[in-house]
Amino acid sequence: MVYCVLLFCVCLRHLGDATDEMKAVSVMEGGSITLHTDVSDVQRCFLIQWMFGSIRIAEVNRLTQTNSTYGGPEERFRDRLHLDQAGSLTIKNTRNTDSGLYRLTIISRETSYTTYSVEVYEALHSSSSPESSSSSNFVLSSCVVNSSAINNTNSANVTELQSCSDRIHCCGFTETVIRLVASALVSLAAVSFLVYDIKSTRNELNRMEETRLKHRTHGLKSDQQYELSRRISSRYVC
């Protein structure tokens, strides 16, 4: 209760001295970033407070002699915040969700406010950052080599690149052989199907011709029998 009263009195006393400043900073995802208070003597500050949006995430309170960090919204900053002796805030293992506005409030003889606009960008979207210019990115699984880092690779990386090229050649040859074999199998299957179709058609035609001949022969025999019967009958008719 006493702390709240003292803090309220200090805020009222120095409200007219408040200043506001905006700073923009950026960091690659996975790296660390420090938001500085630029305080030379932290003992003269009654309160140093950090807010992420409208949520308190860190605080240095001289009245209670405490340095505290908090998890923030949905505990997203849990175990990733650090306060140094000057009250500067370090965010470790940054994530894309850490992007946003950070509000610094310092209450001493004067009250000042500083807003940091923090942007955390992905490593793949960075082409000019110090990390990307000083490292060589080899993706052996797909044999993709970062062309911007070729001139800076050492002999070991050159060996890896040659090995990668050999694998590309080997993979290309194997794929070509597989395609040729598959094409040959498809062609063989097509020829076999064509031969089978021709044989089936020929057998069907032969069966039709045999059936037609049988019908013709049967019809001829029936006509001959009829004629013979007619003649026999005419002999015995008075």
Cα 80 to chain centroid distance, Å, stands at: 25
pLDDT in tens, 195-219: 777 887 788 888 888 887 877 766 6
Q: Is residue 195 part of a domain?
A: no
This model's pTM is above 0.75 = no
Q: What is the pLDDT of residue 53?
A: 92
Query: SS3 sequence, the chain?
Result: CHHHHHHHHHHHHHHHHCEEEEEEEEEECCCCEEECCCCCCHHHCCEEEEEECCEEEEEEECCCCEEEECCCHHHCCCCCEEECCCCCEEECCCCHHHCEEEEEEEECCCEEEEEEEEEEECHHHCCCCHHHHCCCCEECCCCEECHHHHHHCCHHHHHHHHHHHHHHHHHHHHHHHHHHHHHHHHHHHHHHHHHHHHHHHHHHHHHHHHHHHHHHHHHHHHHHHHHHHHHHHHHCCC
**Separation between Cα atoms, residue 65 and residue 45, nearest integer Å:** 11
Whether the predicted pLDDT of 115 surpasses 90: yes
Query: CATH no. for residue 58?
Result: 2.60.40.10
Model confidence pLDDT, tens digit, residues 118-177: 999 987 744 444 444 444 444 334 434 444 444 555 555 545 555 555 555 555 667 777
Give 81 or 179, the one with higher predicted confidence: 81
Region class of 75: left (phi > 0), else alpha (psi between -120 and 50), else beta: left
Residue 109 lies in a domain: yes
Residue 112 lies in a domain: yes
Greater pLDDT, 232 or 110 = 110
Tokens at residue 46, please? 């009654």
More confident residue, 111 or 192: 111
* More confident: 180 or 103: 103
C-alpha to C-alpha distances, 208 to 196, 211, 218, nearest whole angstrom: 18, 5, 15
Whether residue 58 contacts residue 44, with contact meaning beta carbons closer than 8 Å, is answered with: no
Range of the domain at 41: 2-132
Rounded to 5 degrees, what are φ and ψ at 93? Answer: 50, 60
What's the pLDDT tens digit per position in 75-89? 999 999 999 989 999
Total number of domains in the chain: 1
pLDDT tens digits, 12-53: 444 444 557 899 999 999 999 999 998 888 888 999 999 999
Encoding tokens for residue 185?
């199998």
pLDDT at 126: 46
Cα gap 3→173, rounded to integer Å: 77
- Length, in residues, of the chain: 238
Is residue 25 assigned to a domain? Answer: yes
At residue 13, the pLDDT reads 45
Burial class (CB in 10 A: 0-12, 13-18, 19+), 154: exposed
